[in-house]
Amino acid sequence: MKKLLIGCFALMFIVACSEQAPEESPAVEAAPAESPEAFVARVNEELKELNRERGAAGWVRATYIIGDTAILSSLANERYAKWHGETVEQALAYDDMDLAPETRRAIDLLKLGTSLPAPKDAAKRRELTQIATEMTGIYGAGKYCRSDNDCISGPELEQMMRDVRDYDSLLELWTGWREISVPMRDKFERYVELANEGAATLGYDNLGEMWRAGFDMSPAEFRTETNRLWDQVKPLYDELHCHVRGQLGEIYGTDKVPQDGPIPAHILGNMWAQEWASLYDLLEPYPGVSDLDVDSTLRTKNYSPQEMVRSAESFYVSLGMPRLPDTFWERSQFSKPQDREVVCHASAWGLDGGNDLRIKMCINQTYDELRVIYHELGHNYYQGAYKDQPPLFQGGAHGGFHEAIGDTVVLSMTPGYLAEIGLIGEAGQNDQAVINRQMQMALDSIAFLPFGKLIDEWRWAVFAGEVAPEDYNKSWWEMRTRYQGIAPAVDRTEADFDPGAKYHVPGNVSYTRYFLARILQFQFHRSLCELAGHEGELHACSIFGNEDAGARFYAMLETGQSEPWQDTLEKLTGTREMDASAIIDYFAPLMAYLKEQNAGRTCGW
C-alpha cells in the first residue's frame, strides 16, 4: 500500500497546526477516492466501452491485414493497456480492505484482465503493442514461396500436410513454413522483456507466473496440478505413440522412423504434429468397418461453409439453447476472401459484450473442419450465455472451461449422431467399429495432450529466464522430444525460431487452456451423460436432443467467471477437482487394443 505523510500545511484548511506538533507526522494510508463497490461499477462501465472498441479493431485487423488496420488495432490495444495499467494502480488501494467476496473477485480479475500486461512507461507500452501487432501480422500473412510466382499460404500448407504422404515432400513443406517465423525472433525476445516488465507492475515475477495466477490457486499449485493431470493420461499416450511409430516405420522405413527414438515431426499429418487424425487412413485398425468418411459426404453433398455451421448450431439448439442471432450470419467470416489477406486461424468472437457473436474461419469441406466449427460455436454459446454478467465476470470459469464447452459437444458426434443427421450411413457399434472410432478420436485428443501442455511450459521457462534467448530453439525441441517423443528430421539451429511457427506464440495466447479443455471435456461429458440417463459405455453416449442435460449445461455457462472454477465444476460434476479418469474410462477399449499391438515392440524414446 502506498503511504502518504501529511504535514500541518496539508491540513491548514481543516484544523490549525499545533505549535507542539511532532517533528514527523504519522504515516496515513491514502484513502481511495470512491468506495470499492463504486470503483468496480465504474470499471465495468469503462471496460464495456473499451472492449467494444478493442474488439472491433481486432476483428478488422484479423479479417483485413493491411497497414492501416495494424495502426488501428495497435492504437486500440495501446489505449486499453494504458487504461488497464492506470486502473490496476487505483485498485491497489483496496488490497488490504475486507471486501465482499464478489467485489474482491472483481478487483482480482481486473488485475488479470490482460494476457499482455504493459509497462508503465508510455513509449514501452506503445512498443509492446506494436510488436504484438507485427508478430501476428507476420504470421497471418505468412507464406512459403518456392519462387516469386509460387507461394503457398498457411492454410494451404496445413491442408497439404494432411494430404501429402511423400516423406521428402512433407519435409519441404514443414521447413518452408518455418521460414516465416525467423523475422519474429528478435521481436519475441523484446516482447518477453516488455511483458515481464508489465507483469512486474501487477506484482508478479514474470508473465508466466501471472498467467498461472488466473486459476483460483497459487501459480505453484497450478503447475503441480497440470503435472498431476498429465501423469494420469501419459500411459495412454505412450501406448498410442508406440503403435503409431511402429506403423509409420512400416510405411516410411525404419531407417527414417527408428523404432527406439522419437518420430520425425513432419510425418504426423499436421504442421505442428499436435494432432494426428489425418493419419487415420494409414492407421485404421479394421479397414472399412463402420467407415466414418464424413469428408466424402460433405464433398458429395457440396456442403457450403454456412451449411456446416448450421449443422453445429442445430446441435446446440437441440439442447434447448437459443439460435444464433441474425448478425452472426451477416458478420462472420466463413471463407477466405480472394481480395485480401486474413488470419484464417479459427476463432470465436463475442463482440459488444457478447451481443454480437461471430466466428472467423476459412472453412474447408472436411470432418476435421466440421469438428472445429462445433468447437468454436461452444465459445459463442458461452459468450452469449454470460453476456448479462458484468464485464469483469464475462469469461470462462477458467480458460480451460471456455475451450472445453465445444469439445464436450464434439464427443457427442457419435456414429449414431452422424448417421441421424445424414453425414454417414448407418453405423454399426460392434467391437471393431468401436476400436476404429476410438483410434480416430485418440489421434486427435490423446495425441494433442503433451503438445497442449508443453507450449506454455516452454514459455513459462522463457518468461522466468530459465531459457535464455540464445537457447530458444534448442530448448523448444528438447521439450517437444521429452513430452511428445518427436524430433525434427533436419538440423534446427538458433538461426531458426520454430516456436513462432505456431500461431499462439506470436499471438500471445496462453495454451494451457487447451490441455485442460481436453481433460475437462471428458469429465463434462461423463456428467452430462449421467444427467441424460445414458446407460452403457461412455463412448456410445450422445446428448443430442436432451434438454435436461442442456439446461444444466447452459446454467453452468451463464455463471461465466463470477465464482471460483471449483464451485462451477462442482455444480455440474459433483466434484471440485479436475479429473482425467474419464479419459481412461472412455478409451478403455482402445487401450486394450494398443497393448496387444505393441506386444514385442520397444516402446519409449
Active-site residue numbers?
A: 345-346, 375-376, 379, 403, 504, 514
* Alpha helices (H) along 257-304: 280-283, 294-300
Residue 4's alpha-carbon distances to 10, 31, 97, 148, 153, in angstroms, are: 11, 10, 17, 65, 58
The CB-side HSE value for 123 (13 A sphere, CA atoms) comes to 0
Q: Tell me the C-alpha distance between 577 and 568, whole Å.
A: 11
Question: φ, ψ for residue 247 (rounded to 5)?
Answer: -70, -40
Q: Tell me the C-alpha distance between 347 and 336, whole Å.
A: 14
Q: Tell me the C-alpha distance between 436 and 524, whole Å.
A: 23
* Alpha helices (H) along 98-184: 101-111, 122-140, 154-163, 167-177
**Residue 528: which of 319, 328, 337 has the closest Cα?**
319
Beta 263-264 vs 150-153: how paired, if at all? Answer: unpaired
Find out whether 44 and 392 touch, Cβ atoms under 8 Å: yes
- State the Cα angle at 471 between 179 and 266, rounded to 5°: 40
How many other CB atoms sit within 10 Å of the CB of residue 579?
Answer: 18
Question: What does the CA dihedral 225, 227, 230, 231 come to, rounded to 10 degrees?
Answer: -110
Angle separating helix axes 512-531 and 399-411, nearest 10 degrees: 50
Q: Which amino acid is at 423?
A: L
Annotate 77-114 with DSSP letters as a single string.
HHHHHHHHHHHHHHHGGGTTS---HHHHHHHHHHHT--
349 has which bridge partners? 358
Strand segments (E) across 436-522? 486-487
Q: Which cell is 531 given? A: 444427467
